[in-house]
Amino acid sequence: MKINKEEFQNVNWYTLSNDNNVSVTISTLGATVVAVNTPDKNGNVENIVLGFDNPEDYPKHHDYFGATVARVAGRIKDGKWRDYQLNQNEGSNTLHGGAKPALSYVNWKKISKFIRKEEVGLVLKRFSIDGENGFPGDLTIDAIFRLNNRNEFSITYIGHTSKQTLFNPTSHMYFNLSGDAKRTVNNHLLQIESDTIAEVDDQKIPTGNLLNVDETPYDFHQKTTLDVALNQLDNGLDTAFKIDPSIEHPQLVLEDPESGRRVRVQTSGNALVLFSTNKPTEEFKIAGGNTMKENLGLAIEAQMLPDAIHHSGFGNIIISPSKPMMYRNTYYLN
């Protein structure tokens, strides 16, 4: 078990490595997961998330590659909560916590790192001031990254606030289990423990209705090739799947039969938002030298259901000084 540090002009990258040739690289910019390197069935170690080789590329492309999204992941209708007007950075709505500044593109502070016999970890912190992006309360966010010798990579987010505010963070990793994005994710197999998805309007804002997935392209009760769904969806996946929160077993499995790699995702949230890198608006290169294109990755955003504050039954994302909140997402890399 070890931790290596790379220092760049404005950011630092920390690589957590276990004894099984599995490693995770995290940037202080946006508390971003830069790379997750795992062996394939033949022992070849490659990166299974999309990102960039050059730290300077991250601020240029606001597609949240591996970034921590906070204060609130997803969209908030009209950027409104109670009497607060939040930053409207996608039309009239707030997307991924607003953009003045976007917490995914600011530097987080390294608080500590630890190396134990069976586990290594890194703690990053961000202080978001009262009124930032329109949100009330001084909010302190701790992001705790851990990797152990069971090939379990976990991210824990803890929020403390000075007054009632909203807190629903996520990690915006795009997975591609082929390794170094050699192929699209079309032939990946996906299984989700989800009976319903959140219906959305033409602005991708949840209506409050939950739609049954049976006999639809969103039915992943059994392992299903992503191609089956993507061929039926003109705009690909950009969908919130409702799940039962768990701290005991994964609610999603993604596999690549060709490489033999598998990742299982477990979250304490009640939703997994899947986004299939639909039709990039510009041409650019990602880590490994490949050109970004449609279906090159599958974002798996573990969180509470989007726009929860406007829909009963979507879960509570309101925290207060006396009630801090913790979310834990675990990625089983085997």
Q: Is 215 annotated in the active site?
A: no
Report the distance separating Cα 52 and Cα 246, nearest Å.
32
Structure-token match 């505010």, residue found: 165
Q: What is the DSSP string of 173-241?
A: PEE-TTSTT-S-STT-EEEE--SEEEEE-TTS-EEEEEEE-TTSTT--SS-EEHHHHHTT-TT--EEEE
Please indicate if the annotation marks 172 as binding a ligand.
yes
173 annotated binding-site participant: yes
Residue with tokens 């609130």: 72
Residues whose CB is less than 8 angstroms from the CB of residue 100 and which lie 6 or more positions away in sequence, other chains included = 87, 89, 132, 133
Query: One of 46, 172, 188, 255 is an active-site residue; which one?
Result: 172
Angstrom distances, CA of residue 38 to CA of 12, 52, 152, 155, 209: 22, 17, 11, 17, 39
| Sign of CA pseudo-dihedral 53, 58, 61, 65 | positive
**Is 292 part of any known ligand binding site?**
no
**H or E element at residue 119:** strand 119-128
Within 8 A by CB and 6+ apart from 131, the residues are none
| Per-residue tokens: 322 | 């006396």
Active site residue 188: no
Among 121, 90, 91, 125, which Cα is nearest to 111's?
125
Catalytic residue, chosen from 46, 132, 152, 301, is 301
| Beta bridge pairs of residue 112 | 123
Type of residue found at 42: N
How many Å is the maximal CA-CA distance in the chain?
A: 57
174 is in an annotated binding site: yes
Binding residues for beta-D-galactose: 172-174, 238
Binding residues: 172-174, 238
Positions marked catalytic:
172, 301
